[in-house]
Amino acid sequence: MDIILLLMLLFPLAGAVLNAVSAGRLPRRLSGNVASMAVLGSLIMAIAGFILLGERTLVVSLVDWVSVENFSASFAFLYNPLAAIMALMVTFVSFLIHLYSVSFMREDKDYCRYFAYLNLFVFSMLVITLADNLLFFYLGWEGVGFCSYALIGFWYQDPEKAAAGRKAFVVTRIGDVAFGIAIALSFFLFGSLSLTYIYGHLGGLTQVSATVLGLLLLWGAMGKSAQLPLTVWLPDAMAGPTPVSALIHAATMVTAGAYLLIRLFPVVRLSPLALAAIAGVGALTTMYGSLSALGQRDIKKVLAYSTISQVGYMVLAVGAADIIGSMFHLLSHALFKSLLFMCAGYVIQALDDEHDIFRMGNLRRLLPHIYWPFLIGALCLSAFPMIGGFFSKDRILLATFLGPGIIYKVFWAMALLAAFLTPLYTFRMFFAVFQERPGGRSAEEIKPVPPFMAYILWPLAILAFCDGLLNLPFGPGKDWLARYFSVLAGAVVALPAPPGYELSMSVGSGAVILAVLLFTYVLYRPPGPKFSAPRLEAFLFEGLYLDKLYYSVFVVPYERLARFWWQTVDEGGIDRGLDGTAQLFAMLSRGLGYWATGRLSTYVKMLLVGLTVFFSALAVRWYLW
């Protein structure tokens, strides 16, 4: 088993190294194929590992990494059902996205750099997925952060895109710091960083330390998962190539925060306060994401805000102590959101880098290949009854409703409202892009795109469509995923809902979602929106002005302070002081320079005069004494 896990990690690492050391000289086909095959190797290993694992939990320790006195960290894996499923998802989605990327990046000259980063990302993400040691986990955590930064700013010649990369890096770092503190704190509390050790030694943990640890972990997760208040980097991250958005900023990295909370759930669940905080952050973010998505015009930003909102559901589920629901939604979201992003990438390329959904239109007729995958993705995202994200979202809503205290009812209401907004923003985008309308696109404006990019979406589309089969609330495969995850500490297989609750809630939300879909159609059907509220639209468009707020509260004072240190203190004080000293010495030396005439005769004369005076003085003194 250890060889399987090792290979799963080493394949993408080898691909990344190969692509990186070739310094861009690998032929285009070879570079893409090496990268894809490396991830295919990982996928095969993930499947093999999944089959061999069964429902066991394995701890595999490879070698010691750091070992100083009583501190030690090793390259160790904790391979349990959770990690197995996550690894399957990561490698499967990554593989499809790699194949898609080969077509998507067909004209980019920096393909080697691209595939090197992409493979390195898969490696780091698998480290996060498998790591048993928190320090090892952190290695992957920083690795994905770096790859995210490098790929958002992939087209670094464009200063705006490079700035987006920097922003993502800096904002996620605010979260990473908290995670770093959490790691140090767990070493202090448990004396070890091994997850298995921590799971086994929770007895002595006080309420206060559990709460602090839980809140620090939540803060860490906020950065990576773009939860409030650290959401602002994700919409900007859309500057990267679209497959990157699909892989990193939809399917895998942004869910790493939720995964972290699920992985450390045995610690987090000890503190009701931390759980409530997690649920609150999740619920607020869900609302925030849905509202902001409603106002966007850029197709990728709609999807980005939608990702924020959906990841909010996962965090909310952890807060509602339902890690199975969280993981279930993570899986369905990974499938349908990467599907949607790749569809968007296809559309963007076909329209020659057009991002504005209201300058699209007529695409059902013009891009028939992409219509159905996009529709399936949109329906899954909207939680259309019986497909895709319906079951997972329902489970989360139910778990939140059953949470302790009135506050969870509030969270539930917020999440429910967001769930109703989801079809609204999704189909607002969908109708704008695909429906026939005046001012839409004509056939001459369409650039040819390899049809392979649409075919590759079908496996994802089918899986996203059938995703509910993983954990049906009824029928032959009832609760398969939940039962598979039942070995995880704190997992609740069947939510303790009174009979009838589950069914009535499902039916109720299904009916409302259908109603919202109809309403969306009425509102946004061709030729366009039936209302106009510019102030509201601007408010939503700017993401509730959160970005502007941060700009004026943090960035502007920081820049002012930096300007003060730079211009007043450094240039005005230190530099001018040094310049003045240098000028003083220059003046002194110029004065002394007059003595050096360079004329030999003068020097000899001076020598003679000097010697005469010297010897005369000696003589006089000798004579007088």
Partner 1 sequence: MIVPYSHVLILASIIFILGAACAVARRNLIMILVGVEIMLNAAALVFISASLFWQKLPGQAFVIFLFAVAAAEVATGLALIVHIQRRTGSVISDDYNHMKG
Binding site for partner 1 (CB under 8 A): 592-601, 604-605, 608
How is residue 544 written in tokens?
């509730």
The helix (H) or strand (E) run that includes residue 72 is strand 71-79
Closest CA relative to residue 117, chosen from 149, 142, 86, 93: 149
How is residue 53 written in tokens?
């694992």
Q: How far apart are CA 320 and CA 286, in angstroms?
A: 14
Per DSSP, the three-state class of 156 is coil
Q: How far is the CB of 580 from partner 1 (least distance, A)?
A: 23
Main-chain dihedrals φ then ψ at residue 67, nearest 5 degrees: -145, 105
Q: How far apart are CA 109 and CA 102, in angstroms?
A: 12
The helix (H) or strand (E) run that includes residue 257 is helix 253-263
Nearer to partner 1, 170 or 618 (CB): 618
Q: How far is the CB of 602 from partner 1 (least distance, A)?
A: 9
Q: How far is the CB of 612 from partner 1 (least distance, A)?
A: 9
Q: How far is the CB of 599 from partner 1 (least distance, A)?
A: 5
Q: How far is the CB of 594 from partner 1 (least distance, A)?
A: 7
| Cβ neighbours for 413, distance < 8 A, ≥ 6 positions apart | none
Q: How far is the CB of 606 from partner 1 (least distance, A)?
A: 10
Nearer to partner 1, 532 or 601 (CB): 601
Q: How far is the CB of 170 from partner 1 (least distance, A)?
A: 54
Nearer to partner 1, 443 or 592 (CB): 592
Nearer to partner 1, 188 or 623 (CB): 623
Nearer to partner 1, 548 or 605 (CB): 605
Nearer to partner 1, 499 or 598 (CB): 598
Q: What is the DSSP letter of 359?
A: G
Q: Give Cα separations from 402 to 271, 405, 419, 599 (angstroms).
A: 17, 9, 17, 102
Q: How far is the CB of 588 from partner 1 (least distance, A)?
A: 12
How is residue 348 written in tokens?
């963007």
Q: Return the bridge partners of 133, or none.
A: 194
Q: How far apart are CA 383 and CA 390, in angstroms?
A: 4
**Cis omega before residue 241 (within 30°)?**
no
| Radius of gyration (C-alpha) of the chain in whole angstroms | 31
Nearer to partner 1, 29 or 605 (CB): 605
| Residue 311 burial class via C-beta count within 10 angstroms: exposed 0-12, middle 13-18, buried 19 and up | buried
Q: How far is the CB of 601 from partner 1 (least distance, A)?
A: 6
Q: How far is the CB of 23 from partner 1 (least distance, A)?
A: 51
Nearer to partner 1, 574 or 608 (CB): 608
Nearer to partner 1, 507 or 613 (CB): 613
Question: Sign of dihedral through CA atoms 396, 397, 401, 406?
Answer: positive
Q: How far is the CB of 22 from partner 1 (least distance, A)?
A: 56
Q: Give Cα separations from 551 to 239, 555, 558 (angstroms).
A: 19, 5, 10
Q: How far apart are CA 216 and CA 283, in angstroms?
A: 18
Q: How far is the CB of 593 from partner 1 (least distance, A)?
A: 3
**Cis omega before residue 229 (within 30°)?**
yes
Nearer to partner 1, 565 or 614 (CB): 614
Q: How far is the CB of 607 from partner 1 (least distance, A)?
A: 9
- C-alpha 131: how far from chain center: 18
Nearer to partner 1, 157 or 601 (CB): 601
**Cis omega before residue 235 (within 30°)?**
no
Q: How far apart are CA 158 and CA 165, in angstroms?
A: 11
Nearer to partner 1, 438 or 598 (CB): 598
- Convert 188-233 into a string of H (helix), E (strand) and C (coil): HHHCCCEHHHHHHCCCCCCHHHHHHHHHHHHHHHHHHHCCCCCCCH
Q: How far is the CB of 568 from partner 1 (least distance, A)?
A: 38
Main-chain dihedrals φ then ψ at residue 531, nearest 5 degrees: -145, 165
Nearer to partner 1, 552 or 612 (CB): 612
Nearer to partner 1, 409 or 605 (CB): 605
Q: Give Cα separations from 28 to 19, 103, 112, 470 (angstroms).
A: 11, 11, 8, 38
B/e letters for 389-413, b = 16+ CB within 10 Å, e = fewer, are bbbbbbbbbbbbbbbeeeebeebbe
